[in-house]
Amino acid sequence: MDAFHLPSLISRQAERLSTEVEIVLAPPAIYLHTINSMVKDLDHVKVAAQNCHQKSSGAYTGEISASMLDDLKIGYVILGHSERRQHFHEDHVLLAQKVDAVLDTGMQVIFCCGEPLDVRERGEERAYVQTQLEQSLWHRSKEDFQRIVIAYEPIRAIGTGKTATPDQAQSMPAFLRQLLEDNYDTATANGVRLLYGGSCKPNNAASLFEQPDIDGALVGGASLQADDFMDIVRARIKRT
């Protein structure tokens, strides 16, 4: 399926669904403008960039700044995705700079966090993820968290189909909610949307969304099939 056919199918189906659940599409950068134009009349469908550069201007040939994305009226930028951390060696300091760049334009951040398998096997996943948030997000005010979505990616599950049980999936978002409450306050913690990003599929979406601290999903492979993606969206709508 070509790059425009898939979002076109999704947007046509989304038009007939409840507007209470927000749908965010995150295509490669060269398609952002076209797909954003496709969904501009659907208030509950937004577009996200998969990344941005931390500097607002300068000699960074090939990079895309947050201000450029803001010019396109892009709603969200995904930052800290596990693949960016692994393959492009993005660390906490760099991600903090990117968070600042996006929030300072007025756009929203989808901030990814999560632990690799070896960290989980050592039982250090909570400390690992806590450090990710402390080093890249905690410098922002509680008001800023109205524009921050946190997506938990258990890296061991991405692309493997080895989704955690619903109770296991709930454990880390519950911990993240408590971290937000401890560092800010209850209202801030309850206001932040927490997404689960570990092989969410149509056959497990409903059970994941039943968990009290999973507000949505960061969908990977299942988003490449419009019907599968929309089944996940429908599962989330049923929870509202």
**Token pair 């700079």: residue:** 97
Kindly give the interhelix angle for 5-14 and 226-239, rounded to the nearest 10 degrees. 30
Contact 214, 169 (CB under 8 A): yes
Contact 113, 151 (CB under 8 A): yes
What CA–CA distance (Å, rounded) separates 128 from 221? 25
What CA–CA distance (Å, rounded) separates 178 from 118? 24
Query: What are the structure tokens assigned to 230, written together?
Result: 């929309």
What CA–CA distance (Å, rounded) separates 23 from 31? 17
CA distances from 12 to 37, 58, 106 (A): 13, 39, 28
Choose the catalytic residue: 83, 89, 153, 181: 153
Question: DSSP label at 149?
Answer: E
Concerning whether 81 is annotated as a catalytic residue, the answer is: yes
Choose the catalytic residue: 53, 81, 90, 115: 81
Active site residues: 81, 153
